[in-house]
Structure 1
Amino acid sequence: MDTKQESKNKHFWGFPFTHFSYFFIWATIYGYLTLWMEQVGHLNGAQSGLVFSMMAGISLIFQPFFGVISDKLLFKKNLILTIAAVAILIGPYFQWVFIPLLHINSFLVALVTGTFLSFILNGGVSVIEQYVQRASLANGFEYSHSRLGGSLAGIVASLVAGRIFLWKPNSIFWMCTIAAIILVCLLLFSDKINLDNASAAGDTSNSLDLKTVGAVFKNMNFWVLSIFYMGASAIFDVFDQQFIIFFKTFFHTAAQGTLVYSYMTSGQTIIEFFLMFPMPWIINKIGSRNGLIAYGFLTCIRILGSALSPSWGWVVFFRLIAGLEMPLLLTSIMKYIAGAFDIRIYATVYALASNFAKQISVFIFSTVAGNLYDKIGYQHTYVAMGIFVFLVTLFAAFTLKKEDPVQAGETDKTQASPDNNMSTNSSTSTN
């Protein structure tokens, strides 16, 4: 028993560092790309919105394939390594390619940047997430405890990137290149899978076929989950895209606003980091479906609160709520998909509902929001976003089905009642 536990512990520690390396890149790009495009690239709100729309739109090509390929590969690292290797090119691209492309055509730079970053981030995130989630099932650890590495990356990125940006803006992208090199090394030499228990993470025979994948689209709960993500999580991302520009309006100088933004983001990610520890226990108590609904309403409160804030202090307060939102979402969605759908198509459902559908919404609303920022201002745009999130979350609260707690890992199988076991079998066969 002790030997088995020791083996699992040895198989855990590489994954938090993998999460750290990848989400350091994510936090840096999403935290400072808008600011870089404004100050270095001299793009306006609509042009910056077009870049993010392209990232979302082009990822729609990647995500369905990434999901099915991931379900087929299971624990093979071909795809995840390719994504990590491409991320090494972030520094060279923004140093030597972005500005020359912008001088040719603003749409061209949006198209190329969108393709490049969506492969790494918007499309690639589902590959990273589902790989670690499956590793957690095989190795016997909570996914959220590995995701602590991603939260820590957000803290470090916000503290380091803000200062480096003020020193030399292009340097933030070279930090991403260094993080990507570390990520490749971790995937090659550190991350280990307990293959004796690999069947806990899906069908190791690679017998997934198109009929099984196609059945996802006949599942009404899949569409409800997709709509929820399109209306809640997607708006969360759109809201954050140009938030730093809005935040700077509360300050006399851009440098002061950027520095306070760095501290604020660090505080948010510190809260997120510490909440990742108890969040699996909390979600096991309240259920992953209820966790998703709670996330939706908190997102609504944060957006509306920011829109109506009279000072930057109130904006900081509502921003810190995001420290609770992310642990809720990340823990809930991983458990919910495992408990409400066939585990064999876990990556496919995650890629389609949590990323593909979401990016459709981001693709549409990034450009819409960018134009609205220029025409009616941030406050009025945020109010419209908040009301939209509220309505979608209310819809999901009445229509999203309850997950099976045993299949979701919310209840230990040895403690499950006969009814729960019957429910698990039924859920697996019907989905």
Structure 2
Amino acid sequence: MDNSAKMPEKKEKKDFWGFPFTHFTYFFNWQIINGYLTLWLEQVAHLNGAEAGVVFSMMAGMSLLFQPAFGVISDKLLFKKNLIITIAIAAIFIGPYFQWLFIPFAHISNMFAAVITGIFLSFIFNGGVSVIEQYVQRASLANGFEYGHSRMGGSLAGMCASFLGGQLFIWKPYSIFWACTVSAIILTGLLIFSDKVHLENASAAGNTSDKIDWGQIGKIFKIKNFWYLSIFYIGASAIYDVFDQQFIIFFKTFFNTAAQGTQAYSYMTTAQIGLEFLLMFPMPWIINRIGSRNGLIAYGCILAIRIIGSALSPSLIWVIVLRLLAGLEMPLVLVSIMKYIAGAFDIGVYATVYALASNFAKQISVFIFSSVAGNLYDAIGFHQTYLILGAIVAVVTVFAAFALKKENPVQAGERDESGKPKE
């Protein structure tokens, strides 16, 4: 008898914990910038709504160059860290840039400062986010852990950044940017010394060849479902970003002083992201049951309700309740889109599809709507603008419900109640 058959099978090590910390440090910066940059531009840099909108429009506009290039490069690099470390190092300079360069640029021209800032931040965030996300997603396939569980680190970071950012802004507005610098230094160290990937399983995460099949990438644009997914992101996730960009200004109108509004906003956002953090843990299980396509549709429905509801809210309490729904929206879309792309497209061009459909197409809309929404806020007010944005989300969600194809559940990594892959 073969005695080796009696030996217990060694449990494979997943090398998981470095990745949630990577998510934490990157999305700490993301939440600081997205949560407090608008407030800083208004109160410290003295930009109006339209000029602040230019910053976000430039961030979105430059991502139209960064994201396709980053997607192709990421598919080529696979688990090599050249690009992701470059992005992390660039983030280290957020503090110095806003402390010593932004105001001199604004003295030349507010528009000039907005353009330069948009380009700089787009490289780190609008372009860089797809690099971070697809890198961890592929690591989850190689190492055998759920991407959604690593992404909990990003949710926890958002909760911490929302609370800490509000306190830092009230103390010294510039300190929010130096907090980003410190976080980026830690991120760079994690990428260099941590985040071990089981390279022997690299084939599970895509093409291990250094050569990109450009013909195959070109075929992506001929796939109807790619365009349907892009339309959904243009009309849903992009509007989510535009809606949130100046939400803090709308929220402050319910308070007597700006400081009260800022502090309450930090508490509310902390609670919202705390809910996001808690729901991120069961969300992979939920999406495995309902399917990633249905998860995307559910996300669109909730987003439309939240935006339209905010426009019609009779009191601050309703605004807060609707804002907390974002804690459900983010886990839904983050887990659903990762599984949907894996299940509906070729895994070999995963990063390119992710960059083009869920980021590139999305940023086209953000690029257009950021400036448009900024002008609408100034011209017709928040309530009417929110009704317009919510209607757009509702229409594209109905479209996606009929147009998006069903994913392959096995390819998407979806499992049934027993934990076995769906057929």
Normalising by structure 2, we get a TM-score of 0.96
Q: Tell me which residue corresponds to 1:140.
A: 144
Q: 1 CA distance for matches of 2:230 and 2:316?
A: 34
Letter in 2 for 1:373: Y
The answer to whether the Cα contact below 8 Å between 1:208 and 1:344 also exists between their aligned partners in 2 is no
Aligned match of 1:392 in 381, 393, 396? 396
The answer to whether the Cα contact below 8 Å between 2:296 and 2:333 also exists between their aligned partners in 1 is yes
The answer to whether the Cα contact below 8 Å between 1:228 and 1:396 also exists between their aligned partners in 2 is yes
Q: Tell me which residue corresponds to 1:354.
A: 358
Q: 2 CA distance for matches of 1:267 and 1:215?
A: 43
Aligned match of 1:287 in 288, 291, 299? 291
Q: Tell me which residue corresponds to 2:386.
A: 382
Q: 1 CA distance for matches of 2:169 and 2:421?
A: 52
Q: 2 CA distance for matches of 1:152 and 1:382?
A: 28
Superposed CA offset, 1:361-387 (max 9, x none)? 000000000000000000000000001
Matching of residue 40 in structure 1 with residue 17 in structure 2: no
SS of 1:406's equivalent in the other structure is: helix
Q: Tell me which residue corresponds to 2:370.
A: 366
* CA RMSD, Structure 1 to Structure 2 (Å): 1.3
Q: 2 CA distance for matches of 1:374 and 1:290?
A: 37
The answer to whether the Cα contact below 8 Å between 2:25 and 2:187 also exists between their aligned partners in 1 is yes
Matching of residue 182 in structure 1 with residue 186 in structure 2: yes
Letter in 2 for 1:155: M
Matching of residue 165 in structure 1 with residue 166 in structure 2: no
Matches within 5 A, 1:25-424: 25-411=29-415, 415=420, 420=423
Q: 2 CA distance for matches of 1:326 and 1:273?
A: 10
Q: 2 CA distance for matches of 1:80 and 1:416?
A: 32
Superposed CA offset, 1:213-254 (max 9, x none)? 101000000000000000000000000000000000001111
Superposed CA offset, 1:174-205 (max 9, x none)? 00000000000000001100112111101112
Gaps of 5+ in 2: 1-7
Q: 2 CA distance for matches of 1:262 and 1:248?
A: 11
Letter in 2 for 1:261: Y
- Aligned-residue sequence identity (percent) comes to 72
Normalising by structure 1, we get a TM-score of 0.95
Describe the shift of the 1:154–1:374 C-alpha distance in structure 2 as closer, same or farther (beyond 3 A).
Answer: same
Q: State the 1:409 CA deviation.
A: 0.1
Describe the shift of the 1:315–1:286 C-alpha distance in structure 2 as closer, same or farther (beyond 3 A).
Answer: same
Gaps of 5+ in 1: 421-431
Count of aligned residue pairs for this structure pair = 415
